[in-house]
A and B are shown apart, each in its own frame.
Chain A
């Protein structure tokens, strides 16, 4: 009896917390008006990565919009790499994350870094969605098939089949130097990422 009551109390608190956080702002752009599917407030993080700073980043080979493929190892010894996983195309926060990176190219250049966007969407979806953002200077990779395989390797595939909003900074030697598996409902702060890039050997 007592445990049932405790359970219902817990449910109530959870419901209250959801109500409170439902008003999280993200400053939606008018650009996507009427085109964004609003999934509501989601569980902040829904996976657990086994990767840690200092570990070797798993390699991958994924297609991007041009149809060509990009692998992580092609940057070995040449470039630092930022992987930006976003949950899905046409969702609220993501649609206002990459356009910000799109006007911050100089910070990536200064730190000899490339930015790779990754989602589990297929190429046609990514094409339509990124077109809405304007011309992106960085490639957007499709981890569509086998579905979310790379996201799974990185431990950021959520139970519903989308990914976390996650950033991995990988140095020229292929070693992970920074991981931010962010609350899916909010946008990571750009200057934190840039400060991490500045710590790397150019």
Chain B
């Protein structure tokens, strides 16, 4: 009995510490670092797939997106800040689409932390969002980026070898979409 309890105690301690270590390992990647090479849920809409240059089902990775720069917004339909931010991100999307020099090179993806496809759909309809929003129902992506508060914006430059480097990683509003886009064009070396 004594041995068994001691063994179970040791096992529990081990699990607890290794689990916490794993959690602590997932910190939020900063500017200059890489965005984790994690599976994202494949959008359902054919137009979203076309936009991202993706084929197939189930999941995709950032390196497969047909773009030089990807703007990732980690949001939640339940987050009032994200709701207020939605029109600004729509403006950003429109601005990019009007600029023929970068239209096909800069893409936006929204990742709905803890949201089901249905919940992501409500957000899309409410704000008439034209760029792809993908659900992250199990919080897998959210956890991989250190459980960021929402909205959190990552701007990721995709290198030709499939690797990537983050040029922007911040929680909160993008403020002025014009300036935000200028910063992206500048810092990613698109010009």
Contact = CB atoms under 8 A, between A and B. Distances in A.
Given A97-B78, A187-B78, A27 B119 contact: no
B113 A19 contact: no
B116 A16 contact: no
Interface string B109-123: 000011010110011
Contacts of A102: 80, 83
A99 B83 contact: yes
A28 B1 CA distance: 44
B113 A27 contact: yes
Contacts of A201: none
Contacts of A99: 78-80, 83
B139 interface: yes
B58 interface: no
B152 to A, nearest CB: 8
A103 B122 contact: yes
A189 B76 CA distance: 13
A43 interface: no
Given A12-B12, A31-B80, A31-B81, A5 B5 contact: yes
Contacts of B119: 100, 189-191
Interface residues of A, number: 35
Nearest to B9: A12
A134 interface: yes
Contact of B78 (A25, A100, A107): A100
A191 B122 CA distance: 10
Contact of B20 (A19, A27, A107, A194): A19
B142 interface: yes
Summarize A's interface: helix, strand, loop or mixed: helix
Nearest to A97: B78
A26 B143 CA distance: 11
A37 interface: no
B149 A20 contact: no
Contacts of B91: none
Contact of B8 (A12, A27, A133): A12
B114 A134 contact: no
B79 A191 contact: no
B5 A27 contact: no
B116 A191 contact: yes
A2 B9 CA distance: 16
Pairs of residues from A and B, 7 with the lowest C-beta to C-beta distance, nearest first: A29-B79, A100-B78, A31-B81, A27-B113, A191-B118, A25-B139, A99-B80
16 contacts: A9-B5, A12-B8, A16-B12, A20-B16, A25-B142, A27-B147, A29-B79, A29-B150, A100-B76, A100-B78, A100-B119, A103-B77, A134-B84, A187-B114, A190-B118, A191-B119
Given A20-B15, A28-B149, A30-B149, 10 more contacts: A5-B2, A16-B12, A16-B15, A25-B139, A27-B142, A29-B82, A30-B151, A97-B78, A100-B78, A191-B116
